[in-house]
Amino acid sequence: MKKKMLMPVISSLVALCISVTLTTTIGHAQCGCSCWMVCDNTCQWECEGCGLVQGWRVAQQCCEQAHAASGDTGPCFPENF
């Protein structure tokens, strides 16, 4: 009796692992961030469709690319002037 139940359990676990992997991959493909450099080499960014950790990683890459493209930014000026 135990051998008959073992195969369906293993099949279910394999199917679950495959579906989680596909869902994670599709979820990563939907993550998108836009970013821009502002004064004092500060990067501002917005992300959509990302998890917290993945969004942070993609935003970090985006900011690195934005800094490479724009170079160092100057100091911030007071808003009142």
Cβ-contact 66, 53 below 8 angstroms? no
Q: What's the rounded mean pLDDT across residues 45-61?
A: 92
Whether the pLDDT of residue 22 is over 50: the answer is: no
- Determine which of 2-6, 25-29, 57-61 has the lowest per-residue pLDDT on average: 25-29
pLDDT bracket for residue 10 (50, 70, 90): low
How many separate helices (H) and strands (E) can be counted in the chain? Answer: 2, 2
pTM of the model: 0.56
CA 59, CA 21: separation in Å to the nearest integer? 23
Looking at residue 47, its pLDDT comes to 93
